[in-house]
Amino acid sequence: KYNFKETEKKWQEYWQNNNIFTFNWQDTNRENIYAIDTPPPTVSGTLHMGHIFSYSQADFIARYKRQQGKNVFYPIGFDDNGLPTERYIEKLKGIKGKEMPRNEFISICKDNVHIAEDQFENLFKSVSFSFNWDVKYQTISDKSKKISQMSFLDLYNKGVLYQKYEPCIWDVVDQTALAQTELEDKELESQMNYLKFDIENGENIEIMTTRPELLPACVAIICHPDNFEKYKGKFAITPLGVKVPIFADEKVDKEKGTGFVMCCTFGDQTDIEWWKKFNLDLRIILDERGKLKLDIVKDLINEKYLILEELKTKEAREKILELLQEDGRITREPQKIIHPVKVGERSKFPIEFLITKQWFIKVLDIKEELHKKASEIDWHPKWMENRIHNWIDGLSWDWCISRQRFSGIPLPVWYSKRNGEEGKVILPTAEQLPIDPMIDLPQGYTRDEVIAEMDVLDTWATSSVS
């Protein structure tokens, strides 16, 4: 009978003792080097079959190439900064990062990530993944910190990194901005609600919405060009009593809903496009926690609707439908639906769009270059090439790389408080890196003369340079 434990142990010891998986740094013949860019597993404290499965494919190739005589560079590291690590430590220690001094929480994270990393390492070694453990790294280490911050300086100096107050994708659960790649579609129950909007000439139109709680943020009505001639230059009155302009745009689907759409700041990405295109007013009524804040519209909307203040979106949705029913503004029975909604990859909660000050890397202006690079690659299987081209076509935001978290690589930035240069961005020199702007200072400035950047880098901005 085959004793797999005995056989596995024998070969594990043999491979280890004979340095079979070690990269030969003396062999500098580029043609003989086979390098594998191993994505570092996220330290979340949760191990499952996917961790084994997803690394098996690369391991098969690494072993095959070694047997062909290649000098295989197959590193491994741990992605141990960012939100997953914070959640893991909070659960492990029964603490909350936002309820304690930031430096203390970061220190606890650094002191305890090894627990999960040791579990990962033991698991990977137990199935004999042929990583070169001699070059194990951490994305929270000072070395990774220096490389990531150096990359930030490099991108800033090249003019492809910018900071701006912009609509951003916001996770109300995890309390941070997200990148487009951190979203997924989730099928959720909802309902189509049909509301009556008045036109200033005495007519009225019907509008369908799944998000009536955003009515206080309505800044325009958009209709299909085929319907526009009759309403050109006219204004609509929302059910809350606010006068808004009417515009036309091809993006309005005549077959879906009623042919009229309310533009709110912001319900979705199309709202953002219309807001910019038509230079509309800005009425942000949701805060970072997904609660309604009506200060900006309290002098505009019908007073009875101010009761929505401080309600979360779901509660506000139910309440505003009650009020609209009382006012005779619901034109027909709601229709129950199930539709895909964009949610945070980790929180699984519907995202919102808020105006916040964030750091971005330009990607929209290099889409053709990305397509060209993708076409230069040999894809296995071939249909995966279609997937990357579709993904590139679907990019509609520059990459937001700032995160409102605690345990991460600090953005290496200060802002000046000196007279005449208030708000000026101050960066360290490469020789100063790595730095923490809340502890370190820029050359020639005192603590009273600068404001330290509080945000950290998106963890992908670190693991992508590993």
The pair of structure tokens assigned to 321 is 């439908």
Please give the average per-residue pLDDT across 157-168, as a whole number. Answer: 91
Please give the average per-residue pLDDT across 436-465, as a whole number. Answer: 91
Treating both helix axes as pointing N-terminal to C-terminal, what angle do 49-67 and 102-126 enclose, rounded to 10 degrees? 60
The pair of structure tokens assigned to 322 is 């009650």
The pair of structure tokens assigned to 364 is 């929209």
User: What's the pLDDT score for residue 148?
Assistant: 95
| pLDDT tens digit sequence for 198-254 | 998 788 889 999 999 999 999 999 998 888 888 888 899 999 999 999 999 988 887
Are 266 and 353 contacting, i.e. CB atoms less than 8 angstroms apart?
A: yes
User: What's the pLDDT score for residue 97?
Assistant: 84
User: What's the pLDDT score for residue 99?
Assistant: 83
> Measured between alpha carbons, how far is 195 from 91 in angstroms, rounded to an integer?
45
| pLDDT tens digit sequence for 125-145 | 999 999 999 999 999 899 999
CB under 8 Å to 275, separation ≥6 — which residues? 167, 219, 263, 265, 266, 282
Whether the upstream peptide bond of residue 235 has omega within 30° of 0, thus cis, is no
In which residue are the tokens 């690394």 written? Answer: 55
Please give the average per-residue pLDDT across 42-46, as a whole number. Answer: 80
Tell me which of 48 and 309 has the higher pLDDT. Answer: 309
Please give the average per-residue pLDDT across 156-160, as a whole number. Answer: 96
Lowest mean pLDDT segment, chosen from 129-133, 226-230, 299-303, 384-388 = 226-230
User: What's the pLDDT score for residue 100?
Assistant: 85
User: What's the pLDDT score for residue 259?
Assistant: 84
Residue 50 has pLDDT above 90, yes or no: no
